[in-house]
Amino acid sequence: MALSVDDVQRAAHLARIEITAAEAFDVQNKLEGVFRLIERMRAVDTTGIVPMSHAQDVMLPLREDHMSESDPHKRDLYQRNAPAVEDGLYLVPKVIE
């Protein structure tokens, strides 16, 4: 599968990763290396093998529906990391006009 520089730029934009035009060619090369690897793996006969959605064959552990986190002081602790807060809200640059 061929990957264009436009594909690379689009994927970078979707992931909010800034890459320059020069870097894009380098990234394109590396990703094409990944695709070549995938091509080689596709040659393996997987007939009758159920696809795995997870690297480990384990079951998802579940927790009982108990509310056990209600420490109001935690909020202040967490918000110490935030660049800006007001009235208990995290402030971010305006997202709509």
Binding site for other proteins (CB under 8 A): 10, 13-16, 53-56, 58-70, 72, 74-75, 78-79, 84, 86-96
Closest CA to 5 of 35, 28, 26, 39: 28
Residue number with CB closer to other proteins (18 or 69): 69
Closer of 36 and 75 to other proteins (Cβ): 75
Query: Least distance from C-beta 2 to other proteins, angstroms?
Result: 19
CA diameter of the chain: 59
CB of 43 to other proteins, least distance (A): 23
Collapsing DSSP states into helix, strand and coil, what is residue 11?
Answer: helix
Asked if 5 and 24 touch (Cβ cutoff 8 Å), the reply is yes
Shortest distance, position 15 Cβ to other proteins, whole Å: 8
